Amino acid sequence: MNDSQTTYNQPKNPTYKSHAMKPQDLQTLAAAALMPAGFRHHDSGEPAQPAAVTAAAAMAAKVDQLGQLHAAIADMKRKADQIRTELEDAGLTDIDGQLYRVNFAQCAGKTLTDWQTIAKRLKASPQLIRAYTKTGEASTRMTIKARQTH
């Protein structure tokens, strides 16, 4: 880590992503909130928007940017899936392109054992089943939906 980076206490979960404001954004917000109303101007002399409004607008812009990226990724995935289907339907196991090579191979399916059902069939108590049942760490789910435009 170089000298320009700052370390903050973060949860031990490496998949955790903080959605908190950056320290410099908080400093700007605090400075604007503490400044008397008469002093809040842009260099042009016009009254400045409150920091909370500009921070909210910045977050809204980030939401829109993220939505556009997800839409583009979904479109590219759809196109890639379509091309894969065309290549797979050709029935060849190896196909060479100018830059890439594709190889199709059959793989065995995943085997899962339903241990909970087996335990119930063997009449294990619910307490015993719970004692050997593990729950993963909580996570945050984000859903992105396009807003309705009239």
Domains of the chain by residue range? 23-131
CB 129 within 8 Å of CB 120: yes
Paired with 102 in beta bridges are 95
CB 33 within 8 Å of CB 51: yes
CA-CA distance, 33 to 88, in Å (whole number)? 61
Q: What's residue 76's pLDDT?
A: 96
Paired with 77 in beta bridges are none
Segment 87-111, tens digit of pLDDT: 999 999 999 999 899 999 989 999 9
**Most confident option among 13-22, 84-93, 111-120:** 84-93
DSSP state of 22: P
CA-CA distance, 65 to 102, in Å (whole number)? 33
pTM for this structure?
0.51
- Cα 122 from chain centre: 42
